[in-house]
Amino acid sequence: MKKIISSLFYTALVAIAMSSCQKGEVVQDVNSLSIGSYVTLVSAGNNIIDATNLAGSKVATSVKEYGSAQEKLIVYVTKAPQTNDRTLWKKVKEYTNNGGTYNLEVTGQEIATALGTPPGPGETYVLYNQVITKDGRKFDVSNTLPDLATVSQYNLRLTWNAVVVCPFIPAQANGTYIITRDTWDGSVGELVRITSTQNTEAVANVMFPYAEQPGIAPVKITITPASGAATVQKQTYGSYVSFGPQYARMTCEGTGGFFFSCTGTFTINLTHKFADGTGQGTYPYHLKKR
């Protein structure tokens, strides 16, 4: 298997070199062409940026050269989603090749400087690794064959991400919030009171203002302090018995949310269920502090 992968590596590298040729160049026999170049992953480091500490927080990864000898590596950035249009990339920094391994680090402030605007919580940025070979050729995700870039065995590190968050601080989170999105209950514009006494949870006094008795209860939000990542464990929040007895004591639950106390925003997708566990769909729910 290793021999097969190695052979595929060589073939793919030659293909990269061919794909990077400019219009008007003479077509050569493939055996006479030089091979391409890229970097492979050595280790993946932190991918989180703290919006409240841009200069002091950084994302990192370690990569090594593969293929034609490299002179240097240049890191570029765009706001997600990824684009292969180089004209939209903004240069962050460059690294001279010293021994074949690059230990890449990019701070939140360096991203802000490159793009001219500070990264905000909930945003994702794409970092692009472009290598310059000793004979002056450029290789990056924009001129690498898609199959080579996505096959895990090749272990390429052509791009990497920076996810912007902010730590959860209870004192910042406490207060009155307005519902800005609720396609389940239709309660946009209604108010919710959030209280928090510890950095691992917050409590909404009434998550869904149009819910009825029986079963009206506060909803607890579980939070990861460092990132503001939020989940709602399955819990009863109220009823809609006017729609039928099956709507008594509804529950909600959800993962993949964020509670950013620094901006006063809470977003999550919540799955609603009857008391017997029958699912009624998953709906977005957003709050914004007044």
Q: How far is CA 32 from the centre of its chain?
A: 42
Give the model's pLDDT for residue 153. 75
Query: Do both 271 and 204 map to the same domain?
Result: yes
Query: Do both 127 and 175 map to the same domain?
Result: no
Give the model's pLDDT for residue 154. 80
Which residue, of 165, 181, 201, is where some domain finishes? 165
What global pTM score does this model have? 0.81
Give the model's pLDDT for residue 34. 54
Which residue, of 144, 165, 186, is where some domain finishes? 165
Query: Do both 134 and 254 map to the same domain?
Result: no
Rounded Cα distance, 156 and 115, in Å? 25
Query: Do both 98 and 20 map to the same domain?
Result: yes
Query: Do both 90 and 226 map to the same domain?
Result: no
Query: Do both 240 and 285 map to the same domain?
Result: yes
Give the model's pLDDT for residue 145. 78
Residue 79's domain comprises 2-165
Give the model's pLDDT for residue 209. 95
Query: Do both 22 and 155 map to the same domain?
Result: yes
Query: Do both 127 and 25 map to the same domain?
Result: yes
Q: Look-up: residue for tokens 């060589």? A: 10
Which residue, of 165, 194, 209, is where some domain finishes? 165
| Whether 289 contacts 268, CB under 8 Å | no
| Whether 188 contacts 288, CB under 8 Å | no
Task: List, run by run, the mean pLDDT of 10-residue segments along the chain (290 residues).
Answer: 43 46 35 71 96 97 96 98 97 97 98 97 97 96 80 86 97 98 97 97 96 97 96 98 96 97 97 97 98
How many domains is the chain built from? Answer: 2
Q: How far is CA 233 from the centre of its chain?
A: 23
Query: Do both 148 and 226 map to the same domain?
Result: no
Query: Do both 241 and 126 map to the same domain?
Result: no
Query: Do both 10 and 101 map to the same domain?
Result: yes
Give the model's pLDDT for residue 20. 47
